[in-house]
Structure 1
Amino acid sequence: MHWHRVPVTGQHYVDTGAGVPVLFLHGNPSWSYLWRHLLAELGSDFRCLAPDLPGLGLSPGRPLRSRPVDQFLGQLDALDALFRHLVADRGLPGRGWTLVMHDWGGPIGTAWARRTPGVVDRLVVLNTIGFRWPAEYRVPVYLRWIRDHKCVAALARATDALPRLAVRVGVTVPLGRAERRAYLLPYARRRDRRAVEFVRGIPHDDRDPTWRLLEPEGPDVLAGLPLFVGWGMRDPVFTPTLLREWTRRFPHAEVRRFPHAGHYVTEDVADRLGCHIRDFLQRERV
């Protein structure tokens, strides 16, 4: 497993394995450490790339833009830069990619796949979204507080309460002390907790301009792609309501429900999840 850096953006990423490229996109407040079990499982057969998204993990972030939609566009631009670097400098192909997405990595990944049609051939979805909130869904109250109130967001950034809460309530099998410390390491200093403010980019309603990046006006280029869904059913944020929306929109999807797993499904059921994803990728190999 090797660390590299995108020359243009300073974005850090893990590069391991050989074969068809698989790009792993984490959420907030996480980083590429989230993928360690899947990288070990899949690296023998696939070229696994796991970046730290800008402003998260070990990737320094650019100054926050004024509007959440511009912050989201900044993530897409950084993903473009990463892709160009991997193709031009690391010898990866320009097509045949798989996206593995979790949490806020889902909206970023699906928007980028729609922005670059023909690059992505397969999707793996893990407790995330790639569309507007369903009408019956409600964002948890503590995330709404951070999103809607600058003073609460500032207080959250002043502490590491959000990352600490995530590593405890996001799992059903408690993490060991070393694992918790690893998750929290990039957010130990206040200046490195700008990720907390990204919560303010969570869309409010159908009028939010961020949604136009997720909902295509014409035919969806992702509609017919092979899709695997692995879902922790005890996730307090990405609830079964969102899983039902995935299955409604993608009725051909292969779905694995894990009744006793939480938000960090990659932790609670790492071995089973890795085997299911490996089987899916090998069966749908392009």
Structure 2
Amino acid sequence: MERQHVSLLAGARIGLLEARLSSELAELVRREGGEPVCAPAVREAPVDLAPALPALVDDLRQQRVRIVVFLTGAGASSLLDQARDAGAYDSLVDALRNATTVCRGPKPAAVLRKLGIPVHVNARSPYTTTELLEVLPDALVAAQGMALLHDGGGNPPLVEALRSRGARVQELRSYEWRLPDDVAPIESLIAELVDGRLGAVAFTNQVQVRHVFQVADGMGRTAAMRYALTHRTIVGSIGPTCSRALDEHGVPPHVEASPPKMRPLVSAIGDALAARRNHPTVDSTP
């Protein structure tokens, strides 16, 4: 007799704050029997790097910059796209092929390898600042010129740590994470959270945490939302960096994806919802 498929999410409504891969994450939720409630909480705004490209290429050629650190695949792609638009693509790619390249995980590494740019150093999972610093010891970075291509949020602790090891860090950013122009979907999600109409919320970026609390503060519903996230709604985090942001806002996540990818995150949320269904608790509204 064929075994009947058991839905992981069992019809639960899952709040999703992802922007770039919103449709992919929503489809994962649907496949597992859940209902996605999408409220993208981050907008990627491009930062014009064209004025900095000639100096960067010259610094690489003259070996004033010997190490280039890529934090995200989106940042690497944006940098190269801007170089192409500025007519500096070939010169930048050639210069990068002669530099020591460092990647924080597989996504920027894939972008570079596709172009024949060697990846000399890559951080291990879960690809946080801690793992990146492990592969950038004093012996490698001391007295070296380094270009650091940030993600959309910046990383002051990483810059401080590298400079304390003697690196001369040049910071670059090809996009910024900003609050969406239209926050109505986020406001609606917060209202559903407070009213107990969401089974779980998935956080896939630390900036989502800050933006959701920023919007809740504007609505005067921060305390009610924090209570709901702590006592009623399963909070899922994509990884350690996101979890720290949640902790800092007084909302320790109930589950954290391992490895830090969307499918394990959805699975972990499903397991937590199943456990709660099997062992229900009653929470009263403060």
On whether the aligned pair clears a TM of 0.5, the verdict is no
What is the TM-score when the length of structure 1 is the normalising length? 0.34
What is the TM-score when the length of structure 2 is the normalising length? 0.34
Higher CA-based Rg: 2
